Structure 1
Amino acid sequence: MRRRLLAVGLTLLATVASGCTAPYDDDGEVTGLMGAAPAKADDAVPVVIDSDLAPDDLAAITYLVRHPRVDVVGITVPATGMVGCTDGLRLLADLFAAIESPSVPVACGTTERGKDGVPFPEEWCTGVVIDPGLPALGAVPWQPLREDAGAFLAQQARVHPGLHVVALGPLTELAALAADRPADYRRIAGVTTMAGAVGDGQDPGRGIGEWNAAADPAAFAAVLAGPVPVTVVPDGPVPQGVPDGLAAAPVVGRLGVDTMITSPAYWDLATAGVFATAGATADERTGAWTAEVTGTRGLLHQGAGSGRVRVVTGLDTHALDASYAAVFGTVDG
């Protein structure tokens, strides 16, 4: 399953001194400060991150915000994910304060899941809010934009030619945009999503191929069938455990580690890495991929003929670790 239940971990402490964030480990020792982000490239790609703000999502958001070839122009939060906007805006405020990064616009989703969707287990939703592994700085929660997520995505697609969406949760809002504003949806250059499974799936006995997809399988299927190119990072190729390039990183290195609900694998960070490295860290199979809406929700199948959906079948984890380490660079505390 996507998150496994563990005992409540020790609360992480943090202080703000001399304008720097100083996260502490369990022994009260400073683990290091996050260095200045690499300078943005002139041709950085505009990106909206669509995320349900679970701990591994927060690591992926930090990576994309700091990556030199990515220009994060906003974050959308679907109502069908693990963490909604009410709690998510507080998590984002603490995250951006801890990594000392300017805020970005946030739009909240309002679209309901389709009839075949399966809500995330309540204990997961509660656990990742109470104990994500993020330093609790008490930052003032962000205020969302007045526009809903669909309207915000449509606006960004019009304003930023070549916009990409990196989707780290259920694809509810993207599917709604495709249905309600098809002309604006077609302006999106590409979608990279962490969703779906090839093979047996995560929990086939309960009809779960993969949880992001199962939360709204009709939306996942609609995005795969739509006019925008899609890159899918399914759960299979992502190894279990904390990536080496994340483990030593200040602030984000504790996300989803020894917490109430731990992250057994960092699927969302891998998805961000695949996008930011332009696929150089992944093996992919392109074709006419579809996903089950009932049965084993989110289970992927490759059909006959050509298609524009790319599914990642393998990862160069050493190259991804090198990219994580470079983007999450540290300085001495």
Structure 2
Amino acid sequence: MRFVLTLYGALFAAVLAPAALAEPVPVRAVVVTMFEYGEPTGDRPGELQYWVERSAIAESYPFPLGEYPLFLTEEGVLLLCVGGGIPNATASIMALGLDQRFDLSRAYWLVAGIAGADPEDLSLGSAAWARAVVDGDLVYEIDGREIPDSWPYGFIPLGAEEPAQGPQDVSTGWTLDTISFALNPALADWAFQQTRDVPLPDTPALKAFRAAYDGFPNAQRPPFVTVGETLSASTYWHGELLNRWANDWVPLYAGADREFMTSNMEDSGTLTALHRLARLGLVDTDRILVLRTASNFTRPPPGKTAAWSTTAPYPDEGRPALEAAYRVGAAALKALLADWERFAEAPPRPTPVVFDTDMAIDDWAALLFLARHPGVDLRAITVAGSGEAHCAPGVANALALADLAAAGAAIPAACGDPVPLDGYFVFPEPWQDDMDKLSGVAVPPSGRAPWDGYAVALIHAAIADSDRPVTLLATGPLTNIAQWLERYPEDAAKVDRLVVMGGNLNEAGNIIVPGFTDDHPNTRAEWNLYVDPVAADRVFAGPIPVEVVGLDVTNDVRVTPAVAAELKARADNPAAAWWDRVLDANDWFIDSGEYYYWDVLAAMTVVDPARFCRGESLPLAVAAAGTDKPWLPGSDLSMPDQAADGSPRRHLDAASAGVMRPAPDSGRTPAKVCLETDAEAAFSLFIDTLTTPQPPAGHIRPPS
């Protein structure tokens, strides 16, 4: 045995001997393909050939521990073919990772290959960016002829006692670290956004094949780009029952919000090797992208058997899927290399966000968006009790909606003071009652208790627990934010951005709402700033530059019946289905023309400020003058006699309270006021985040 190990070590050293003579070649990206039919160029293409033929190859390297030579492009992209199957993938990736000829420490890894596809989700020739790779081999298996009558299939999770048809505790199972690999969700979303409108070939053969899938609307669509998970197994499995197993298996291990879309035979091996290499600091697992394109379906069409479709020829020999893997993958690499200075330093990562909300109707939508968006790491929810919802129901609803949209994330929630810092202003009582009851639309209760503490303390704790600067999003009265700044001034240095939905610079106010506040004297203010103008003014006077997503841009995102209808047509998960029912319950609000995605647009500004907030920077102040002539119809005189600072609570002038104005000579930190936005993109992003992403409406793909 000692002789064998010595011989192996000598062989490995000999293969890599040139590394000792030169500095390692810095690699920007590695394209991982799985198979090739013959030569890398000039014959029937496999997954490698298009990359080699269409790239400017600077050099090739012998790679005897792999299937083919390595090809390095002039842009620093290494092209690799690992060979089909999990063992080949594991061995080739490990060999490359240990190859001292290359510096892979900053390299991005792009797995780009064809796959089986669930016809419930994809059409042939479509492409799916994965957020997780799940292994399907590590499982108990019983022959299908011996399974109990009540079981749908013979696969049982390791550590469990029956098939995975719902949530189970699999924490006692074996080799859990190699069953599911979570990919960087922010990187996957970035790749999708870069490639969602890449033209994909649609051929007569594809059209003819997908026509047989009657009752599968996604299978009958032209090819498109989306986001969905991939299941890796050494067995080329097929059929309706095993397709059901795949749809149960992926969310069991990757999370309830993850969805099986593609099947492959290599990726769990690739990910296992990369994660082992990361232990030595040789690769960065936050830089892995997995793209799979549909060459065949994982179950037969109606009227056909699994035995027939398992070995049925791929339409056009799978070339549309091979083309899609190259086109979509190359588009992502092009965008990455074009901004290499930024991407070399760090990959996109989810932004840590604390959401301060008053849990009104548009806050519910913003919460669902934040909890589902892959670019957001929602750390905490704090409820402004001075806003539309009262504290207890507001927190209970926040916990329930967070669990609905991000099951298992256990996002904490707490409430702050139930009254503004000063003044007696409140939202209309019918609004508060409706917000407390979620417009009568039931949602499963969370079962989790509120965070044990005060909202201001939760903001502080979430910031302290983050290893990166936090973004604060406030979509209600700024009571909690003002108190947090006063109590924890040192936290300001750990906050990257403060995005506020509130105020208006050029547009008219929204205090007067027909049927509720017709006689109100204030025509200039926006509700969130009006209810607690003292808090708002203190926040604008604070050290953090505020990004104001006010009526100047939210007036562009009116919710119309057409917007609601599009959501209804695409609702494909519990969070989207619940929001669809909310829109149904509020059809009167939509028909009134008074409902806008106020807070949703603010949440989108957190994700993509360049697209959703274009404006100007200037110091701001908010009016909060006292008066001896109170506006009693909009006041709650049961509030404490003392203001938050201990002084007597004042009546504030209703006609001017909350009016936001420039303060050029104040010495205040300039705020950025959003004046332009992309409304069409906002509606698309919201629906794509709440449902399965789809290509842009009206997108036309040229024939191949």
Give the alignment's TM-score, normalised by structure 1. Answer: 0.80
Residue 485 of structure 2 is aligned to residue 165 of structure 1: no
Counterpart CA distance in 2 for 1:150 and 1:272 is 20
Counterpart CA distance in 2 for 1:256 and 1:296 is 33
1:115 Cα deviation from its structure 2 partner: 2.4
1:280 Cα deviation from its structure 2 partner: 1.9
1:241 Cα deviation from its structure 2 partner: 2.1
Give yes or no for contact 1:76–1:109 (8 Å, CA) kept in 2: yes
How many residues are aligned here?
301
What's 2:691 paired with? 329
Aligned counterparts, 1:72-91, within 5 A: 72-91=378-397
Residue 453 of structure 2 is aligned to residue 147 of structure 1: yes
- Cα distance 1:90–1:279, how it changes in 2: closer, same or farther (>3 A)? same
1:142 Cα deviation from its structure 2 partner: 3.5
1:77 Cα deviation from its structure 2 partner: 0.7
- Cα distance 1:93–1:73, how it changes in 2: closer, same or farther (>3 A)? closer
Secondary structure at the residue paired with 1:173? helix
Give yes or no for contact 1:117–1:217 (8 Å, CA) kept in 2: no
Aligned counterparts, 1:1-333, within 5 A: 19=166, 36=257, 43-99=349-405, 101-102=407-408, 103-110=410-417, 112-132=419-439, 134=441, 136-160=442-466, 161-199=468-506, 200-203=508-511, 205-207=520-522, 209-238=525-554, 239=556, 240-242=558-560, 244=563, 247-248=567-568, 249=571, 250-251=576-577, 252-259=579-586, 262=589, 264-294=595-625, 295-304=655-664, 307-330=669-692
Secondary structure at the residue paired with 1:206? coil
1:165 Cα deviation from its structure 2 partner: 0.7
1:282 Cα deviation from its structure 2 partner: 2.4
Counterpart CA distance in 2 for 1:141 and 1:79 is 21
- Cα distance 1:132–1:275, how it changes in 2: closer, same or farther (>3 A)? same
1:300 Cα deviation from its structure 2 partner: 1.8
Give yes or no for contact 2:361–2:438 (8 Å, CA) kept in 1: no
Amino acid at match of 1:288: P
Question: Which runs of 5 or more structure 1 residues have no equivalent in the other structure?
Answer: 1-17, 21-34
- Cα distance 1:120–1:256, how it changes in 2: closer, same or farther (>3 A)? farther
Q: In the TM superposition, what whole-angstrom CA distance separates every residue of 1:5-41 from its partner, at most 9, and x where no partner exists?
A: xxxxxxxxxxxxx659xxxxxxxxxxxxxx8469x98
Query: For structure 1, which segment, 217-226 or 97-106, has the greater mean C-alpha deviation from structure 2 after superposition?
Result: 97-106
1:253 Cα deviation from its structure 2 partner: 3.2
Q: In the TM superposition, what whole-angstrom CA distance separates every residue of 1:127-159 from its partner, at most 9, and x where no partner exists?
A: 22335264x144245311112111111122222
Give the alignment's TM-score, normalised by structure 2. Answer: 0.39
Q: Which of these two proteins has the greater Rg computed from alpha carbons?
A: 2
What's 1:13 paired with? none
Give yes or no for contact 1:37–1:327 (8 Å, CA) kept in 2: no
- Greater helix percent: which structure? 2
1:100 Cα deviation from its structure 2 partner: 5.3
What's 1:23 paired with? none
Amino acid at match of 2:421: G
- Cα distance 1:112–1:90, how it changes in 2: closer, same or farther (>3 A)? closer
Counterpart CA distance in 2 for 1:227 and 1:259 is 39
Between 1 and 2, higher relative CO (CA 8 Å, sep ≥ 6) is seen in 1
Secondary structure at the residue paired with 2:610? coil
Amino acid at match of 1:203: I
- Cα distance 1:183–1:117, how it changes in 2: closer, same or farther (>3 A)? farther
The percentage of aligned residue pairs carrying the same residue is 25
Amino acid at match of 2:509: G
- How big is the alpha-carbon RMSD for the aligned residues of Structure 1 and Structure 2? 3.1
1:49 Cα deviation from its structure 2 partner: 0.4
1:189 Cα deviation from its structure 2 partner: 1.9
Give yes or no for contact 2:367–2:401 (8 Å, CA) kept in 1: no
Counterpart CA distance in 2 for 1:207 and 1:140 is 39
Counterpart CA distance in 2 for 1:117 and 1:44 is 39
Q: In the TM superposition, what whole-angstrom CA distance separates every residue of 1:53-95 from its partner, at most 9, and x where no partner exists?
A: 1121011011111111110001001220111331123323442
Query: For structure 1, which segment, 172-181 or 230-239, has the greater mean C-alpha deviation from structure 2 after superposition?
Result: 230-239
- Cα distance 1:206–1:317, how it changes in 2: closer, same or farther (>3 A)? same
- Cα distance 1:244–1:277, how it changes in 2: closer, same or farther (>3 A)? farther
Give yes or no for contact 1:47–1:72 (8 Å, CA) kept in 2: yes
- Cα distance 1:100–1:298, how it changes in 2: closer, same or farther (>3 A)? same
1:45 Cα deviation from its structure 2 partner: 1.0
Counterpart CA distance in 2 for 1:328 and 1:192 is 21
Question: Which runs of 5 or more structure 2 residues have no equivalent in the other structure?
Answer: 1-164, 168-227, 229-256, 260-285, 287-346, 513-519, 626-654, 694-704
Q: In the TM superposition, what whole-angstrom CA distance separates every residue of 1:175-201 from its partner, at most 9, and x where no partner exists?
A: 001112211244322210111122431
Secondary structure at the residue paired with 1:132? helix
Give yes or no for contact 1:89–1:143 (8 Å, CA) kept in 2: no
Counterpart CA distance in 2 for 1:275 and 1:237 is 15
Amino acid at match of 1:255: V
- Cα distance 1:126–1:278, how it changes in 2: closer, same or farther (>3 A)? same
Give yes or no for contact 2:476–2:501 (8 Å, CA) kept in 1: yes
Amino acid at match of 1:173: N
Counterpart CA distance in 1 for 2:446 and 2:492 is 33
